[in-house]
Amino acid sequence: MRLVKEKKGQFIIIAALMMAIMIISISSITYSSVTYFKHERWEEYVVLVDSIKTGTSRVMEISLANYTRTLNSMVLNNNLGNWSNDAKRAYPGFGVILTYTPRQGSEQVYGLRINYNKGLNYSWYQKTAFSAANTSLSLSLASVGLTGYNFISSAFLKETILDAKWKQTDKILYIYVSVEKEDLNPVTNLKRENFSLQIDGPSRDFAFSRYFSSTYNRFIYELRRDQVTSKPFLVTVTATDPRGIQVSACSTVTQI
């Protein structure tokens, strides 16, 4: 009888251990699954936020490009309104709420004084010229309880005429230009067709080259016009970057 009782006791202990192992295993699997799906879901939200920021950046570029051609000061506000509605429809079920506040008033940016009007401003026809757009935004995702994710989106293009020289002996006009975008990153992929030169009138009749200049310690574009019989007083160079944003700089000409 004692042996039977001992065997029953051992069986109960073994059964209890097996149950405990099963419970622990199921709990571990359940926890791993929940953690995995939480992680996967959160990655989805991160991708969504990045996608909305990228889309906003493109809206800023399109708006500034349009503004530099039409000077329509409402274009950015209108485009952001459309984009806010489009973002909500593009991601149904996430509860996307995108609000925006175009910059207004004067700010110091990249060493320049920019006077924003409805998030837009330009200053052309001087040695250093620029076109700029800037907006503050707030993103909320109701489905995950994310509220008030704030970020800034901007578009910017600056052109500087570093020098404009007329060589009397050869009757050649040399113009050296630098072009920079956001964070003052040099724009290095412009081609001849991205520029327009104005002396007596608009013209694309000029030689073109691009290179890093040790003289100016930056990447530059050289525009050369031959057979300029007399020294011009002023030259205007208009640059259009691949995004369609324009800027026009102006400089007096020196004789060498």
pLDDT digits (tens, 9 = 90+) for 225-253: 999 999 999 999 999 999 999 999 999 99
pLDDT digits (tens, 9 = 90+) for 42-71: 577 788 889 999 999 999 999 999 999 999
Q: Is residue 236 part of a domain?
A: yes
Q: Is residue 240 part of a domain?
A: yes
Q: Is residue 184 part of a domain?
A: yes
Q: Is residue 84 part of a domain?
A: no
CATH number of the domain residue 220 falls in:
2.60.40
Residue 178 belongs to what domain range? 159-255
Q: Is residue 78 part of a domain?
A: no
Residues with Cβ < 8 Å from 105, sequence gap 6 or more? Answer: 115, 116
Q: Is residue 175 part of a domain?
A: yes
| Number of domains forming the structure of the chain | 1
Burial 10-39 (b: 16+ CB within 10 A, else e): eeeeeeeeeeeeeeeeeeeeeeeeeeeeee
DSSP per-residue string spanning 164-221: EEEETTTTEEEEEEEEEEGGG-B-----GGGEEEESSSEE--SEEEEEEETTTTEEEE
Question: Could you say which residues of the chain have pLDDT below 70?
Answer: 1-42, 201-204
Q: Is residue 208 part of a domain?
A: yes
The pLDDT score that the predictor gives to residue 55 is: 94
Q: pTM of the predicted model, to two decimals?
A: 0.81
